[in-house]
Amino acid sequence: MHGLRAARILLTLGCLWSLGFGPARLTDGDIPRRPFYREQILALKPISFPEVTAEAVLVANMTTGRILYARNEHERRSPASLTKIVTAIVAMERGDPNQMIEIKKQDLAVYSMIGMQLYDQVSLRDMIDILLIPSDNAAAMAIARTLGKGDVKTFVGWMNDKVAEWGLQDTHFTNPHGFDDENNYTSAYDMALIALHAMQYPWFADAVRRAEKDVANWRLRSTNKMLTLYPGTMGIKTGTEEKAGECLISLVRRPEGEYLVVVLGSKDRYTDSIKLLDYYYATLAEFRVDLAESPQNRYQDAEGRWHAFGLREPLVYLIDRKLVGTEAYYREIDRPLANPSPEEAVGRLHIFLGGQPFDEVPLYAKPSP
């Protein structure tokens, strides 16, 4: 998945495209302009932006990396069991997945959601599933105590080292399970970045996508109802505490687009998340641009030789859904080089949506076969 790339893009907090246009000279076979018809406009009904109960919110389109909506995204708030995302990552980095974790009395003081008992022994890898799927607090304590060689504070220190390594400014942990504490905090923005890092690990992505899983002697059931409520949900994690309120990070992937939604301090995390996802799926679309090998996508140099051209890489834009199907392209070749370098632009592709200029991007000659 494209987690690190998206994380870097998220940090820009800006729109990814720029506009700027000049007169075009067209090559043979360009598509005529397609207008945005009056009937299309009349058929549209405005969709109001949803009201949500969450105190802090962030919505991002993962394909483009654009933050679409954010409110109180840098406000420090209690993360509840979202804490366990970092617990899991640190555990897998610091421990051996095959080492056995034995449940002790102090672990059960924070309660086991699946009913683990004193002296139960589970491999670290299985304990990670118990930590993430049913969000078991005793699993968090047992992992931290064991890997910290009896000192939970040592493990929590590693958790804070990890978020510092990622450059997060508004996250700090005092425990591995997420119980409310004045100094156990995060922000919606930081949690979005934590989620992106976490979903790069195949073992993590596999755990948080499962509504149910059999592990050792237990049937694990996820606390994340989005997995069955909202088609396309890939994960990732819930959290609930008195001070934190209801917390939820959702990653949804559909052919129409991929979105990450973080809600903290919600009164109804599922309704909030679904309202936001429904709004963006109804109003936006991912618009992909690429140039396939074809007679349209080549030019003839002064010596009569033909050269194929195209984009350096496919482009993806996020556009108003009503503009889908109105795209047109015009190829301008202003430098028909006889010996072009792959790094040297030979022209520009002018992109139009609804009959209006939308973007202009460089075209590059492709190496000869």
Q: What is the CATH number of the domain that holds 244?
A: 3.40.710.10
For residue 15, pLDDT beyond 80: no
Q: What angle do CA 151, 156, 157 make, to 5 degrees?
A: 95
Out of 285, 300, 317, a domain closes at 285
Domain containing 300 equals 17-45+290-365
Please name the amino acid found at residue 347: G
Quote helix, strand, coil % in the chain, to nearest 5: 30, 30, 40
Is residue 3 one of the residues assigned to a domain? Answer: no
Same domain, 84 and 142: yes
Is residue 9 one of the residues assigned to a domain? Answer: no
Least confident range of 5-14, 85-94, 315-324: 5-14
Is residue 8 one of the residues assigned to a domain? Answer: no
State the pTM of this model.
0.84
Same domain, 329 and 232: no
Same domain, 342 and 226: no
Out of 285, 318, 336, a domain closes at 285
How far is Cα 3 from Cα 295, in angstroms, rounded to an integer? 36
| Residue 254 CA from chain centroid, whole number | 13
Is residue 74 one of the residues assigned to a domain? Answer: yes
Out of 261, 285, 309, a domain closes at 285
Same domain, 110 and 236: yes
Q: How far is CA 124 from CA 36, 83, 90, in A?
A: 58, 18, 12
Mean pLDDT score across all residues of the chain: 89
Same domain, 123 and 263: yes
Same domain, 148 and 297: no
Same domain, 296 and 270: no
Is residue 33 one of the residues assigned to a domain? Answer: yes
Contacts of 11 (CB under 8 A, 6+ apart): 193
Quote the pLDDT of residue 367: 81
Quote the pLDDT of residue 47: 82
Burial of 133 (0-12, 13-18, 19+ CB in 10 A): buried
How far is Cα 154 from Cα 176, in angstroms, rounded to an integer? 11
pLDDT in tens, 238-281: 999 999 999 999 999 998 899 999 999 999 999 999 999 999 99
> For residue 33, what are its two tokens?
């302009």
- CATH code of the domain covering residue 302: 2.60.410
Q: What are phi and psi of 16, to 5 degrees?
A: -90, -10
For residue 59, the surrounding DSSP H or E stretch is strand 56-61
Report the half-sphere exposure of 255 (CA within 13 A, side-chain side).
0
> For residue 281, what are its two tokens?
């799926």
